[in-house]
């Protein structure tokens, strides 16, 4: 199993561990988001550290009975109710109209997800303990004779739930973003740290690949993301005119014209361990 090391500290030995494939799996959109992530961290940490026993045993070993706010609220336990809506997000909304709309959207989302689970014959969890059982039944983790493990590739909701084509496409796009995230970060690090965020660079796909130490397909993905997010455009010719990335061969030179103000104001890059 591949893992990221999370910055959250358990009361036991070392950091908690998160499966690298969790966010890309698609499940955060169809389970109680924050608590499902916490349970996934329990599974991942038990797997990495080789902890033995039941879920209660693992939780006791990790926190020595002092879970704090790990399960979503202070003093939360495995038997606390699941929360489909993050109440803290309401604090950032100013008007009653915004808060009412947020609550209505959250209720609609919960009803949709619970309906999908029921239609697939999957237990709809009401407590965190039941959520862990649901996630085990979905194959996100296994516990055999007190030994915990997680598959290298997590099964996705599209294999279980009756999703729409739009939802399936969204999962595919999410996975593409996470899988190519490290390569995109390498390209942006080269442009930002090595070149100092220049207004423009006269380069090519293969030159960027060599400089960033990633493959040419990933360079095309990173450039495509910058263009899609209105962070950059490609220009070529005399006089110069805008060109499409798909029309360029890997060796063909172009001017990469960046809008770093727009990039810095609107983009957040997440690094993985």
Strand partners, 148: 143
Angle formed at CA 47 by CA 22 and CA 24, multiple of 5 degrees: 10
pLDDT digits (tens, 9 = 90+) for 227-242: 988 999 999 999 999 9
Q: What is the reported pLDDT for 7?
A: 37
Domains of the chain by range and CATH?
Answer: 3-162 (no CATH), 181-266 (1.10.10.10)
Beta strands in the chain (DSSP E): 3-9, 15-19, 142-144, 147-149, 200-203, 232-236, 241-242, 254-258
The structure tokens 């799996």 sit at 25
Distance CA 189, CA 195 (A): 9
pLDDT digits (tens, 9 = 90+) for 41-64: 999 999 999 999 999 999 888 887
pLDDT more than 90, % of the chain? 60
- Name the pTM for this structure: 0.69
Q: Are the C-beta atoms of 80 and 69 separated by less than 8 Å?
A: no
pLDDT digits (tens, 9 = 90+) for 143-192: 999 999 999 999 999 999 999 999 999 999 888 878 777 788 888 889 99
Q: What is the reported pLDDT for 266?
A: 73
């Amino acid at each position: 199993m591949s893992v990221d090391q999370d910055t959250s500290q358990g009361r036991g030995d070392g950091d908690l561990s998160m499966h690298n494939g969790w966010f890309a799996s698609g499940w955060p959109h169809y389970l109680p988001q924050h608590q499902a992530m916490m349970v996934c961290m329990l599974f991942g940490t038990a797997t990495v550290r080789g902890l033995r026993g039941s879920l209660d045993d693992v939780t006791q070993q990790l926190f020595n009975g002092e879970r704090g706010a790990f399960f979503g609220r202070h003093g939360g336990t495995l038997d606390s109710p699941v929360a489909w809506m993050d109440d803290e997000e309401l604090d950032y909304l100013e008007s009653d109209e915004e808060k009412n709309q947020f609550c209505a959207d959250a209720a609609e989302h919960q009803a949709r997800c619970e309906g999908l689970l029921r239609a697939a014959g999957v237990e709809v969890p009401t407590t965190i303990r039941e959520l862990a059982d649901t996630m085990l039944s979905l194959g996100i983790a296994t516990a055999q004779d007190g030994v915990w493990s997680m598959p290298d590739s997590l099964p996705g909701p599209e294999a279980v739930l009756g999703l729409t084509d739009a939802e399936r496409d969204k999962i595919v796009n999410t996975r593409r973003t996470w899988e190519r995230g490290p390569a995109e970060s390498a390209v942006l690090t080269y442009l930002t740290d090595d070149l100092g965020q220049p207004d423009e660079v006269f380069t090519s796909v293969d030159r960027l690949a060599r400089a960033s130490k990633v493959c040419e397909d990933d360079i095309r993905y990173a450039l495509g993301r910058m263009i899609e997010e209105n962070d950059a455009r490609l220009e070529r010719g005399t006089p110069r005119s805008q060109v499409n990335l798909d029309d360029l061969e890997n060796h063909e030179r172009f001017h990469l014209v960046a809008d770093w103000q727009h990039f810095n104001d609107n983009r957040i890059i997440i690094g993985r361990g």
